[in-house]
Amino acid sequence: MKVVILHSEISSCASADEQDVLNQVEAVSSALRAMGHSSIALPFRLDLPDMSERLRSESCDIVFNLVETAGGQGRFIYLAPSLLDSLRMPYTGAGTEATFLSSNKLAAKRLLHAHRLRTPDWVSLTESSLKGPFPASSPFIVKSVWEHASVGLEEGSVVCSRDVDELRDEIRKRLEEIGAEGFAERYVDGREFNLSILAAKDGPEVLPPAEIEFVGFSVDKPRIVGYKAKWDEKAVEYRNTPRRFGFAGKDRPLLRALERNALRCWHLFQLRGYARVDYRVDRDGTPWILEINSNPCLSPDSGFTAATGEAGLGYEEVIRRIIGDTLRTG
């Protein structure tokens, strides 16, 4: 087959998280070549008429969609699958609606809440899911509505406020850092898990669960996987948040619950190809869904790739499965 690898356009001043898409392009291209396919990388731009012409001119069999941002903004991520739908071109990963719903964290939380899947309470500048009196002095974490890869997340993102108005002031203070739209989510102090899912012939397969450990974090240091922990190799947070896959027998009931919920999310959001569900588990052992990632990073050193390796799957097999799910269901 001829495959177009569609990816975010990278500017000369792009941040580390944006530049990582080029590692994904290289890895996917290498895998396709080893499988006997030809490929060409094409950056996605906001000039949609021009993009339409470029895509048509390639006359490809399938598009491998690695677009995470457009014009440097995560809010436009859904435009890539939307354009491909309009061109009736088959593409990997989630469809337009699933991409929009999962990338807009508030939309995702509303859907989870409506289907009784636990997600932490939230407050935005225009709405609140809180019932009853405001939990004064309870910690909340201020996040971007649209940006992923922990953009804007740092230790100071965890705040305690006296009331909703004060919490909304905290959101406003951080809008420039987190990308124009933000919200505050109740901070769940506990364990962090990532559940990766990969398509298979008989349906979605939940890969071995991973836990992010917080090594040497002091009592007063928030246990979050912020931007430094993900992207700054020199940072203490990067070195002290390792991923592990081995668990004691006492964790089996919890892991089964996480797997069941991950599969429910797959079907609820109508995901395709591959995905990841991120959780926090509180001190009482209750899991809370933080985010649904419909296009997790496919770099060789990513958490998703680590989970596929733990399942005994080579990189080429992963790419083959992702493409195969598109051909079956696209």
CA distance 205 to 307: 11
299 pLDDT band (50/70/90 cuts)?
very high
Cα angle 151, 156, 162; round to 5: 120
Q: CA 137: distance to chain centroid?
A: 29
Q: Are residues 250 and 193 in the same domain?
A: yes
Whether residue 222 lies inside any domain: the answer is no
Q: Are residues 262 and 310 in the same domain?
A: yes
Judging by beta carbons within 10 Å of its beta carbon (0-12, 13-18, 19+), is residue 233 exposed, middle or buried?
A: exposed
Whether residue 215 lies inside any domain: the answer is no
Whether residue 289 lies inside any domain: the answer is yes
pLDDT over 90 percentage in the chain: 81
**Whole-structure pTM value:** 0.94
Element (H, E) at 64: strand 62-66
Residue 150 is predicted with a pLDDT of 67
CA distance 165 to 262: 34
Whether residue 228 lies inside any domain: the answer is no
Q: Are residues 87 and 105 in the same domain?
A: no
User: CB–CB of 98/271 below 8 Å?
Assistant: yes
57-83 exposure pattern, b = at least 16 Cβ within 10 A, e = fewer: eeebebbbbbbbbbebebbbbbbbbbb
Where residue 53 sits, what CATH number does that domain have? 3.40.50.20
| 233-241 long-range Cβ contacts below 8 angstroms, 24+ apart | 240/214, 240/215, 240/216, 241/212, 241/213, 241/214, 241/215
Q: Are residues 32 and 178 in the same domain?
A: no
Domain with 321, as residue range(s), is 101-118+188-209+245-329
Q: Are residues 106 and 77 in the same domain?
A: no
330 pLDDT band (50/70/90 cuts)?
low
Other C-beta atoms closer than 10 Å to the C-beta of 7 total 22
Helix axes 105-114, 252-268, angle to 10 degrees: 110
Whether residue 50 lies inside any domain: the answer is yes
Whether residue 37 lies inside any domain: the answer is yes
Q: Are residues 64 and 138 in the same domain?
A: no
Q: Are residues 199 and 291 in the same domain?
A: yes
- Collapse the DSSP code of 299 into the 3-class scheme (helix H, G, I; strand E, B; otherwise coil) and give the result: coil
Q: Does the structure show a pLDDT above 90 at 80?
A: yes
Q: Does the structure show a pLDDT above 70 at 8?
A: yes
129 pLDDT band (50/70/90 cuts)?
very high
At position 129, the amino acid (one-letter code) is: S
User: CB–CB of 104/139 below 8 Å?
Assistant: no
Q: What is the mean pLDDT of the chain?
A: 93
Q: Are residues 147 and 286 in the same domain?
A: no
| Average confidence (pLDDT) over 138-161 | 86
Q: What is the DSSP letter of 133?
A: S
User: CB–CB of 177/152 below 8 Å?
Assistant: yes
Residue 156 is predicted with a pLDDT of 85
Which of these ranges, 15-29, 43-57, 139-153, 251-265, has the smallest mean pLDDT? 139-153
Whether residue 33 lies inside any domain: the answer is yes
For residue 5, which of 316, 18, 22 has the smallest C-alpha distance?
A: 22
For residue 8, which of 59, 46, 35, 44 has the smallest C-alpha distance?
A: 44
Q: Does the structure show a pLDDT above 80 at 148?
A: no
Overall domain count for the chain: 3
- Describe the strand order of the beta sheet including 62-66 as a list of residue ranges: 38-44, 2-8, 62-66
CA distance 11 to 15: 9
Q: Are residues 113 and 249 in the same domain?
A: yes
Where residue 204 sits, what CATH number does that domain have? 3.30.470.20
Q: Are residues 150 and 298 in the same domain?
A: no
Where residue 145 sits, what CATH number does that domain have? 3.30.1490
168 pLDDT band (50/70/90 cuts)?
very high
User: CB–CB of 277/210 below 8 Å?
Assistant: no
Q: Are residues 113 and 143 in the same domain?
A: no
Whether residue 29 lies inside any domain: the answer is yes
Q: Are residues 159 and 27 in the same domain?
A: no
